[in-house]
Structure 1
């Protein structure tokens, strides 16, 4: 892609230089037509420059998308290898060693958590693909959002600490009903909470709130993690977009989670905004009108 950009810039520079040269030669041989030559030359240069500018933007956009897709493939590879290696090791340990029943059950539970992680990632990729090619119809029905959020919180309530400390503090107002696509909104809630956990330090709490006020439903996820720079806030909902390079990034992910969140909420006429938490971290707030 860099080679393509260099060739493009070289062609543009050559074309402008040739135009100026031929304009100079025409004026020199036909001085009586200087005004017409300069006017037409200026118009041609303006049109050519505008076209070159938009071509430059298109090539840059393509280059960024290419880089994001490369990062996406790298991240998917890492995301698949890690839980698969963990599951393989746990099963081999069960197979080759004489373990107690409690140890076997513990290893099975850990394997199931890794399988759930793989399942979430596959569901994300499938949903993102369907959204992108517009084959997903977002079937809507009434359901209890409070129960949905509570079940996801309980599933993700895993400890990163030796002291088995709960890291998700939930304040969920009961019996909040909503009409929407339950499967897609499950992905929204899961992605927002998982992101908050992912970008937080071990043992840092994540606050999840769900409440209803003035005929609007509010869902909020706040963390005390690394935060998001103001320059990145407008881009975090882009497909494949992740801050930094896949070779140097410590956090896991595919760059599809927040893209799915934004697309699903748009289909539900809901809004989402991100703001800084105090003293550190980010707050994502969803409003269903």
Structure 2
């Protein structure tokens, strides 16, 4: 992209230089019209510079979007290959080896976890697509948010801690009822908790809190992970946006999770903000009401 920009600005500089030269020549030939020549020339140069800057910003924005889409395709490919490879190995082991019933059940359980991971990713992509083309209507009904959050925590909970697992600590106030789209809000809670687990250190706790206060409902998800730089806090909710490059990033993800979270919460007149955790990590706070 550098070469087209160099050519573009070389042409702009050439055009401005020619304009200045011809303006100088006109003022020499018609000194009585110096005011008019300077006024019209200045206005033309101003329009030219503003147009060039706007075009540059537009091209640069498109370039960044294309880069984010490239990263998205790379991450989706990795996200699909990893669980599919795991499921394939587990099923082939069941098929080719003589295993005990307990071993078979363990392998089947691990396969189902990978299937759930794939299902979450597909649901995210479908929901993001529907949000983009405005085909999703967000049907709202009253439901128990406490039960929903508890079920998601139990599904994502790690019962034992080893080198690749985290522990989710939940404090859920019972019988909290809200009106909203249960399917979309399930995606919100799932994305927030999975995001916290993803960026946490092995075996570090992820805290999930749900409570009501002053006629408002609060959902907090806190991790002790790598944290988020201040200049990134407003950009993490952009579609496809992820810190760094897919070529160097080790964490899993497609860059759609927090985008979906923000879009869904906007449709529910709910707010979300992120702040630094202490001593390390991030806290995502959602407020309904």
* Range of TM-score over shorter length: over 0.9
Question: For the structure 1 residues 130 and 160, does the alpha-carbon distance in structure 2 shift closer, same or farther, using more than 3 Å as the test?
Answer: farther
Question: For the structure 1 residues 115 and 45, does the alpha-carbon distance in structure 2 shift closer, same or farther, using more than 3 Å as the test?
Answer: same
**Counterpart-to-counterpart distance in 2, 1:118 and 1:165:** 18
CA contact (8 A) 1:160 1:203 kept: no
| 1:36 CA displacement | 1.4
1:262 corresponds in structure 2 to 262
**Counterpart-to-counterpart distance in 2, 1:267 and 1:225:** 29
Please say if 1:275 is aligned against 2:275: yes
Q: Name whichever of 203-212 and 47-56 sits farther off.
A: 47-56
Please say if 1:77 is aligned against 2:77: yes
Aligned pairs for 1:1-289 (under 5 A) are 1-158=1-158, 161-162=161-162, 167-289=167-289
Q: TM-score, normalised by structure 2?
A: 0.96
| 1:3 CA displacement | 4.0
SS in 1 for 2:158: coil
Q: Name whichever of 271-280 and 34-43 sits farther off.
A: 34-43
SS in 2 for 1:162: coil
| 1:164 CA displacement | 10
| 1:10 CA displacement | 2.7
Q: Name whichever of 181-190 and 12-21 sits farther off.
A: 12-21
1:126-176 deviation line (CA, Å, top 9, x unaligned): 100110111110000000000000000000002572399860000000000
**Counterpart-to-counterpart distance in 1, 2:70 and 2:127:** 20
SS in 1 for 2:11: helix
**Counterpart-to-counterpart distance in 2, 1:111 and 1:134:** 34
Show structure 1 runs of 5+ residues with no match.
none
1:163-194 deviation line (CA, Å, top 9, x unaligned): 99860000000000000000000000000000
Question: For the aligned residues, what is the CA RMSD?
Answer: 1.6
Q: Report how many residues are paired.
A: 289
| 1:21 CA displacement | 2.1
**Counterpart-to-counterpart distance in 2, 1:171 and 1:99:** 40
**Counterpart-to-counterpart distance in 2, 1:149 and 1:224:** 20
**Counterpart-to-counterpart distance in 2, 1:20 and 1:256:** 50
CA contact (8 A) 2:166 2:204 kept: no
**Counterpart-to-counterpart distance in 2, 1:122 and 1:85:** 17
**Counterpart-to-counterpart distance in 1, 2:230 and 2:163:** 35
Q: TM-score, normalised by structure 1?
A: 0.96
**Counterpart-to-counterpart distance in 2, 1:97 and 1:203:** 32
Q: Name whichever of 177-186 and 5-14 sits farther off.
A: 5-14
